[in-house]
Amino acid sequence: MKRLLALAPLALLAGCGLHPLYAGGGAGPVAGTLAHVEVTPIDGKSGWLMSNALRDRLAASGTPQYRLDVRLDDKIAGFGVRRDDSVTRERRTLRARFQLVNLADGSVLLDDTAGSDAGIDVVQSEYATIAAENTALERLSGIVADQIVARLAVYARSRPSR
């Protein structure tokens, strides 16, 4: 009886409609699609970081069939003001608008946005503040790249098989 009760949640889980995103591993449809995506150059330091993060995650191989165009919006806004009007906190926001383009016919297959933000303490040392801003940008680039790749994977999973 105890075994039957222990297996009951598994039966419910099987009927929930969830399917593995990367079914088939490296030979599956999602991995196959992601391996044929080329990332176009993105302007600026944030663009360089984002391009590298995307290339690392996509691990493109073979002839590209798709192009990923990304436009970034990187902003730092100060808030938390002292009596002398100096800023005590900053928020760095990195937003990306991306498009997956079919290289065969130039059609846009996916047009979406991704983004994240990070809080930064502004301290007495200007060097420490700049280092914190740079670290935040590196971290945000990875987070946004993960979001983009996840959305590409969901698209690849949902598109009709060829």
DSSP class of 162: -
Instruction: Give the pLDDT score at 14.
Output: 59
Confidence of residue 50 (pLDDT cuts 50, 70, 90): very high
Model pLDDT for residues 76-119, shown as the tens digit of each residue: 998 878 888 888 899 999 999 999 999 999 999 999 999 999 99
Please tell me the distance from the alpha carbon of residue 148 to that of residue 121, in angstroms, as a whole number: 28
Domains in the chain (CATH in brackets) are 20-158 (3.30.160.150)
- Is 93 in contact with 77 (CB distance < 8 Å)? yes
